[in-house]
Amino acid sequence: MRLSLPLALMIAATPALAAAHMVTLKNASGASAGTVELVSAPKGLLIKVDATGLTPGWHAIHLHEKADCSDAGFKAAGAHTHSATPAVHGLLNPAANDTGDLPNIYAAADGTAKAELFTALTAMAPLHDADGSAIVIHAKPDDYTTQPIGGAGDRVACGIIK
């Protein structure tokens, strides 16, 4: 088969689709709590959430420092990723430097949450450092200002980013 020159140039000029990184979420008992797909974007990170088993309503979701979801409370995942010390939390906080901050997600009456989030605060590369990272869903919504986690409450789902 022979391609015309304009068609061949269009195919060659089409950017490759960004590689997706799939993360499996688990709940405190170790059961599946859905998936998160991370896609590198030119100026940030696209995050596609497909979570299950949540209580209906709003939930905070954050990027955490360590790829460790080994304990039932997911405390081993550490604090949020951040770009400066001391870390300051909050999407609505003018002094914030917390790269782990993300908008809240909403779980329907059946406990499922489907969302697409974008953050320009981080990219895929920093999440793949020596000890990896985690994505954590909390029991309550983030108020985007309260330190250190926006009043988000317990960690109810966790996924390892490596």
Residue 80 belongs to a domain with what CATH number? 2.60.40.200
Q: Report the share of the chain in percent with pLDDT over 70.
A: 89
> What pLDDT band is residue 17 in, cutting at 50, 70 and 90?
low
The structure's pTM equals 0.87
Q: Model confidence over 60-96: pLDDT tens digits? A: 999 999 999 999 899 999 999 988 888 899 999 998 8
Residue 10, domain member (yes or no): no
Structurally, how many domains does the chain consist of?
1
Residue 152, domain member (yes or no): yes
Residue 104, domain member (yes or no): yes
Residue 7, domain member (yes or no): no
Residue 113, domain member (yes or no): yes
Average pLDDT, the chain: 88
Range of the domain at 55: 19-161
Alpha carbons 147 and 138: distance in angstroms, whole number: 15
Residue 64, domain member (yes or no): yes
Alpha carbons 47 and 15: distance in angstroms, whole number: 20
